[in-house]
Amino acid sequence: MCGRFALFRWTPDFAALPGFPADQAPHWSVAPGAQVLLLRQHEGAQRIDRVRWGLTPAWLKDLARTPAHARAETVAEQPMFREAFQLRRGLVVANGFYEWRGSARKRPLWMSGESALMYFAALWEPYPVQGYTYLSTALITLPAADQRRPLILDEASTQDWLSAGTSGDQLAALLQTPQPQLRERRLATLVNDPRLDAPECLTPA
Q: What is the pLDDT of residues 133-171, one digit of tens each?
A: 999 999 999 998 888 999 999 988 999 999 999 999 999
For the chain, the helix, strand and coil percentages under 3-state DSSP, each to the nearest 5: 15, 40, 45
Query: From the CB of residue 25, how many other CB atoms can be counted at a distance below 10 Å?
Result: 8
pTM: 0.95
Please determine, for residue 179, whether its predicted confidence score (pLDDT) is greater than 70: yes
Round to whole Å and give the CA distance between 121 and 91: 5
What's the distance, CA 5 to chain centroid? 8
pLDDT value of residue 1: 57
Round to whole Å and give the CA distance between 202 and 192: 11
